Amino acid sequence: MAICKKMQSTPGQIFHGRCHCGAVTFSVTGPLRQIPACHCDDCRRLAGAFRAATAATRDSYRLASDASLTWYRSSAQVQRGFCNQCGSNLFYQRDDEDIMSVNTGMLDNPDDLSVGGGLFAQSHPKRGLLPATTPDLDDALSGRFDAS
């Protein structure tokens, strides 16, 4: 059973992405999977919070620049791809699947993607996720520093 459904709006759509420094650039062609927000210990440690990733078949990815892409084994069945220049956590690949995940923060325009649900939500810190009533602090940033 699939964790999340394929998004009907993404077949054939090309999503471009990159790491923070731009040393790893890629594209992935849909259909893409809905985003599961994963709260497991590994994902929280890698993302600093929950991990939001979409996925597509391995052959849907095209690496345009990958000289700094490094893979490491995070468990016996899983490898993760990251940029060895800036440290961006990019990809997640199980050995027994033809599906590869990409963190949605690496995509230039993830606006067409939707969250399909949460994984390991019981592992999330007790403070919980941000409620809808959380204030928008963007105006407080004005002139203080570059928020990008």
Domain residue ranges in the chain: 14-124
For residue 41, the model assigns a pLDDT of: 77
User: For 109, what's the count of Cα atoms within 13 Å in the CB-facing half-sphere?
Assistant: 7
CA-based torsion, 96, 35, 46, 81: positive or negative: positive
Q: Look at residue 145 and tell me whether its pLDDT is greater than 50.
A: yes
The reported pLDDT for the residue numbered 1 is 39
User: What is the rounded average pLDDT of the residues 60-76?
Assistant: 95
For the chain, percent of residues with pLDDT exceeding 70:
74
Query: pTM, whole model, 2 decimals?
Result: 0.79
Q: How confident is the model at residue 88 (pLDDT cuts 50, 70, 90)?
A: very high
> What is the mean pLDDT of the segment spanning 110-125?
71
Strand 99-103 relative to strand 51-57, pairing: antiparallel
Higher pLDDT, 89 or 35: 89
Task: Indicate the residue type of 12.
Answer: G
Phi, psi angles (nearest 5°) of residue 10: -110, -5
Judged by DSSP in three states, 123 sits in helix
Interval 12-66: pLDDT, tens: 999 999 999 999 999 999 999 988 887 777 777 777 677 889 999 999 999 999 9
Amino acid in position 10: T
> Mean of the pLDDT values across residues 127-134?
61
**The domain at 14-124 falls in which architecture?**
Beta Complex (2.170)
